[in-house]
Structure 1
């Protein structure tokens, strides 16, 4: 019940000084275990909406630090690397490339008749028109896709030729679109901060897709608070600092 926790922390921090907004917290006379998470989320959103802070200070959003969300993520190595660089307050544990390389070799070389395909290990775009950093769309053809898949397959076979003494160097043979898993944990505030930083349309298609998947999970986790934030503060980085 993350929104209950945010609400409780907010009420604790304000004490009796809720700026006359006690009507938003009609459930205060009930024990905490009976508070409804959706009602708490609505009350928190109403509170922050009514105080109308155009330039919020750091302390205003400290209640958002208490609830924590853990996500299992799978993405291409490059997008995951970008995500980690931009998420200094989110804790990541990532799948070792050596482990991935061993699995790829086992499936693609040792068991060539496996049902797994090269697409199961490497991310390659589907054909289409994709925007660049200037928002100009450029075609990505079926031929482009086949070329990249062939390059990925070639890297697997080249890796398989290395012996154990060369294993660390061999990992570098894989292109950065190899799929990698991660477990990531952070507070509500840190996830909103991450979404905030990535709300502008300057990211790659892959990064935007990854950010949208994270946004969907945060929205399901704290629907009322997320809706308030998305409608009022997204792209402003007000909650970030």
Structure 2
């Protein structure tokens, strides 16, 4: 078996608990919302609740839109643990007729630092919906953010492991189950792990290779029912001989 596997990457995945690290975590009911039919050539307004589900204070740095037609006002700049604020959104639909799409970005002082909200609506000249428009949020299931899923290592000496740490944070209100399925190419010492709401952990990818040259490898883990795939590329070079 070893001779069959020596030409591939081996990844040893361990989970280092960072649950004791206190930080603020922003919770959004949805990151993909539909306003439905709204008035054309008017200013429409609606509100998004923002909640800190973390254990410490969270600073809301700013909220910005992707066009000048969007105005955003935060009711608070700082959220204590379990505190809720409101983001008031105003969109000028002048000249809009039919479906349109917008993006909002909310930045904070804690990882992952930026949260994106996608908005869509159908502007109609026959609609009178303008103020305090109710919206429908898209169900997202498990809510989490991974720091990075793609890595490229320009040079790795042959037979010398490379360790890459990756942050994972639970941005939802339910526990997450994390699994690293065993495969022929992966040796995992990762039990099924539960990550509570607002908690984070750190994955360690231990990358080894016995083959010189460029290598590419895809490694999946499961977070509840969602597959997260890491893409790893590396150029393996000859190790310098020991004197």
Q: TM-score range by the shorter chain?
A: under 0.3
With structure 2 as the length reference, what TM-score do the two structures score? 0.23
Structure with the larger RCO, 1 or 2 (CA within 8 Å, 6+ apart)? 1
With structure 1 as the length reference, what TM-score do the two structures score? 0.23
The structure richer in strand per residue is 2
